[in-house]
């Protein structure tokens, strides 16, 4: 079956991923000279399910007059806001609007929004082979872990978000990741907080590899495709074999935006 998958490659950089949940402060904007009140700026990004920035989205204070449009990178700034609690709504035609009713100002980290695409999206459900290939610059990683291939099963989903189950190796608990689709764009990511969406494989009796990653395809258009992957590889030669990654002696770690994520549909 000639379904599409990943023709246009997305360039995923560390800066791109850092934008999602960044702790970069938003500087307060001082009121005009002579005014008693201090005002603050609220900043953030608006993106779709596949973490593709949405330009021209309207970001507005609910019940107020302050509003702005996102720029070409999906970023926005609302200046001149007083201290306190505000409700902020992000919207654009073709997407489901999102409202955060409890934003506290001053705020030291961005207020980001994800809008669900309302049009038809590519159906990712099916059986695949997935390969994680480490950046060649990560020479400290053992050869055996630099390229790992697994079977991947993506069941039909009720929305544009899919849970992907990995098999074909020994995993700690359940091996898998999350796939999200918006139109013909898709993102693939693990849950670095230690949730079930993890790639944590046992290698032998004690060695282990853990991969936290994010990859994005800007268009889905071929049975096989490969995209850059921002990821951190953790290799441990003495993992204790439990459900939690626990290096007792040594750990080799390599973070790069030049790892590779390859997905092949069967």
pLDDT digits 0-9 by tens, 152-209:
998 887 678 888 999 999 987 778 999 999 988 999 999 765 566 789 898 877 888 9
In this predicted model, what pLDDT tens digit does every residue of 108-119 receive, in sequence order?
899 999 999 998
Indicate whether 195 belongs to any domain.
Answer: yes
Measure the CA–CA gap between 228 and 256, rounded to whole angstroms: 10
Distances (CA, A) of 258 to 93, 146, 165, 205: 35, 13, 24, 30
Q: What is the mean pLDDT of residues 255-263?
A: 96
Predicted confidence (pLDDT) at residue 71 exceeds the cutoff of 80: yes
* 3 is a domain residue: no
In a domain, 157, yes or no: yes
148 lies in the same domain as 241: yes
Say if residue 74 is in the same domain as residue 139: no
The predicted structure's pLDDT at residue 4: 40
* Domain identity same for 106 and 180: no
Q: Measured in Å, how far apart are the chain's first and last C-alpha atoms?
A: 8
Range of the domain at 190: 8-14+121-265
pTM: 0.77
The mean pLDDT value for 237-264 works out to 82
Last residue of a domain, one of 111, 129, 158: 111
71: CATH: 2.60.40.4130
Query: Which one of 54, 85, 111 terminates a domain?
Result: 111
State the DSSP code for 134.
Answer: -
Mean pLDDT, to the nearest integer, of 58-65? Answer: 95
Q: How many domains does the chain have?
A: 2
Co-location of 185 and 222 in the same domain: yes
Give yes or no: residues 222 and 125 share one domain: yes
Residue 116 lies in a domain: no
- Reference 90, options 73, 115, 110, 65; nearest CA is 115
Contact 90, 43 (CB under 8 A): no
Give φ, ψ of 18 to 5 degrees: -60, -25
Q: Is the pLDDT of residue 22 over 60?
A: no
Residue 108, Cβ density class (10 Å: 0-12 exposed, 13-18 middle, ≥19 buried)? exposed
The answer to whether 247 and 215 are in contact (CB under 8 A) is no
| Residues 51 and 96 reside in one and the same domain | yes
Give the pair of three-digit tokens for residue 13.
Answer: 């950089």
Label residue 15 by pLDDT band (50, 70, 90): very low
Give domain status of residue 83, yes or no. Answer: yes
- Please indicate, yes or no, whether residues 34 and 157 belong to a single structural domain of this protein: no
Residue percentage of the chain with pLDDT more than 90: 55
C-alpha torsion angle, residues 146, 149, 155, 160 (rounded to 10): 30
pLDDT tens digit sequence for 75-90: 999 999 999 999 999 9
* Residues facing residue 185 across a β-bridge: 182
Residue 238 lies in a domain: yes
Determine, yes or no, domain membership for 37: yes
Residues 224 and 155 in one domain: yes
Average pLDDT, the chain: 83
Q: Do 76 and 45 fall within a single domain?
A: yes
Of 61, 90, 111, the position where a domain reaches its end is 111
1 is a domain residue:
no
**One domain, residues 226 and 165:** yes
- 90 and 144 belong to one structural domain: no
Domain identity same for 191 and 73 = no
Task: Write out the H or E segment, with its range, that includes residue 229.
Answer: strand 224-236
The residue ranking higher by pLDDT, 215 or 21, is 215
């Amino acid at each position: 079956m000639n379904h599409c998958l990943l023709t246009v490659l997305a360039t995923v950089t560390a800066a791109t991923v850092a934008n999602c949940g960044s702790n970069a402060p938003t500087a307060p904007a001082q009121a005009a000279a002579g005014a008693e009140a201090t005002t603050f700026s609220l900043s953030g990004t608006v993106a779709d399910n596949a973490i593709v920035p949405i330009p021209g989205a309207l970001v507005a204070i609910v019940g107020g007059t302050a509003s702005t449009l996102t720029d070409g990178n999906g970023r926005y700034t609302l200046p001149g806001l007083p201290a306190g609690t505000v409700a902020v709504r992000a919207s654009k035609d073709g997407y489901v609007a999102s409202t955060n009713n409890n934003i506290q100002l001053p705020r030291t980290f961005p207020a980001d929004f994800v809008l669900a695409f309302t049009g038809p999206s590519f159906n990712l459900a099916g059986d695949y082979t997935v390969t994680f290939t480490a950046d060649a610059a990560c020479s400290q990683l053992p050869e055996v872990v630099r390229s790992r291939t697994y079977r991947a099963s993506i069941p039909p989903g009720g929305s544009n978000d899919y849970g992907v189950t990995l098999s074909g190796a020994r995993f700690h608990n359940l091996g898998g990741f999350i796939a999200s689709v918006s139109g013909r764009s898709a993102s693939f990511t693990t849950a670095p907080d230690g949730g079930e969406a993890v790639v944590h494989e046992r290698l032998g009796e004690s060695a282990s590899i853990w991969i936290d990653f994010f990859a994005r395809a800007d268009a889905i258009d071929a049975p096989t495709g490969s995209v850059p992957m921002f990821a951190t590889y953790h290799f441990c030669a003495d993992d204790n074999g439990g459900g939690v990654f626990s290096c007792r002696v040594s750990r080799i770690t390599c973070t790069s935006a030049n790892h590779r994520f390859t997905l092949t549909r069967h």
